[in-house]
Amino acid sequence: MTLAIQLRHRVGGFDLNVVFDAPPGVTVLFGRSGSGKTTVVNAVAGLIRPDSGHIRLLDRVLVDTARGIDVPTHRRRLGYVFQEGRLFPHLTVRQNLAYGRWFAGRARGGPDTDRVIEMLGLGGLLARRPQTLSGGEKQRVAIGRALLARPQLLLADEPLAALDEPRKAEILPYFERLRDAAEVPILYVSHSAAEVARLATTVVVLEAGRVARQGRAAEVLSDASVLPAGVRGAGAVLDARVRRHHADGLTELDAGGVALFLPGLTHGPGAALRVRIAAHEVILARGKPEGLSALNILPGRIVSIRQGSGPGAMIVIDTPAGRLLARVTRRSVQALELSEGVTCHAIVKSVGIAPEDVGAPGAV
């Protein structure tokens, strides 16, 4: 395990009590605001001292309250990307980047300055001050600054939350690249299902200060019962590969042998992708539908049906492409006589897959 955490902490009326492990890759702490995500990350960073607990990073114990161990923040060898960037206003971009590198001093490993500048596209910004940067540029510098401190773990607390959609789309690929380069493990806080789907190798779902569920991204995300973002945020993640681009602007993907058609992607043939399919974009049919405009039809078998008191139901379907989530009405469940084990077809409109839901695959 890269990171092993066991924490108890009380602040006001809030009681945090979590135990989880983070393997290499991106571990996303996922939950509503107020579920304790930031508290966990701040405890790892040493910005708060937990009432009791144990935190181990690789072979180093950072916190062990029973033995009185509490490594000060500046000796923990972390990189922390904050929601608001927190760049030093009195330093240039170049000096901001150099800050952590200088203190890392003799520490070995990690990417060198030139590579980070190139990877994050910071070359043109070096002489500027943080106040003159856009939100997206600030976050790129903040990521670079954290990486150059040669951290053994990168912490990111909702690094995209303060950005608008185009800026989010600008920053997300950098985190994907970091994950795929596998140079540094990442503990990433988010309440966005789309971010989790694109980034996570491991998901830890927090609810009211407790771990509600943890596991590999594909498993956790296809479990409708634990999604804290509610039914609106629910969606399954499929791994796919680009087969070819069609003349009419569609891109054909291969997901476990099934063809998926998406509006034109820029990835070359053979490129591996992660596609998130939102549950509310999926239609179910008992027989193989014909005369339908939707291009993507996946045969499958119903694994589970969850219904609450509302009019909706969440259905998990096993298909050759992977697990899908479908959000349908309870009326449809009765009309189609859907139940566990029943075979059906899942239908997804090509344009129902948002461009921001297509990303690079996770290295696991």
Q: How far is the CB of 82 from another protein (least distance, A)?
A: 6
Q: In sequence order, which residues have a C-beta less than 8 Å from that of residue 1 and are 6 or more positions away?
A: 21, 22, 23, 56
Amino acid of residue 179: R
Nearer residue to another protein within complex by CB, 17 or 95: 95
Interface residue with another protein among 8, 94, 115, 128 (CB under 8 A) is 128
Give the full edge-to-edge strand order of the sheet including 60-64. Answer: 14-22, 3-11, 52-57, 60-64, 69-70
Q: Cβ 52 to another protein, closest distance in Å?
A: 22
> For another protein, how many residues bind (rule: CB under 8 A)?
32
Compare residues 76 and 327 and give the one whose CB is closer to another protein: 76
Per CB under 8 A, the list member of 18, 26, 117, 149 interacting with another protein is: 149
Indicate the SS3 state at residue 256.
coil
Footprint on residues 172-211 left by another protein (CB under 8 A): none
Long-range CB contact pairs, 311-316, < 8 A, 24+: 312/231, 314/224, 314/225, 314/231, 314/234, 314/279, 315/284, 316/222, 316/223, 316/224
Q: Does residue 45 belong to the site contacting another protein (CB under 8 A)?
A: yes
Footprint of another protein on residues 74-113 (CB under 8 A)? Answer: 74-80, 82, 84, 86, 88-90, 92, 99-100, 103-104
Rounded to the nearest whole angstrom, what is the least distance from the CB of residue 175 to another protein in the complex? Answer: 18
- Which residues partner with 301 through β-bridges? 318, 343
Distance, in Å, from the CA atom of 53 to the CA atom of 363, rounded to the nearest integer, reads: 30
Q: How far is the CB of 130 from another protein (least distance, A)?
A: 7
Q: How far is the CB of 78 from another protein (least distance, A)?
A: 6
Stretch that binds another protein, among 11-19, 116-124, 143-151, 290-298 (CB under 8 A): 143-151
Q: Alpha helices of 17-90 — where are they, by DSSP H?
A: 37-45
Q: How far is the CB of 151 from another protein (least distance, A)?
A: 9
DSSP, collapsed to helix, strand or coil, labels residue 233 as: helix
Nearest distance from C-beta of residue 81 to another protein, angstroms: 10
Measured from the CB atom, is 147 or 317 closer to another protein?
147
For CA atoms 81, 84, 87, 88, the dihedral sign is: negative
Report the alpha-carbon distance of residue 206 to residue 27 in Å, rounded: 12
* Residue number with CB closer to another protein (78 or 315): 78
Residues near another protein (CB under 8 A): 45-47, 72-80, 82, 84, 86, 88-90, 92, 99-100, 103-104, 128-132, 145-146, 149, 155
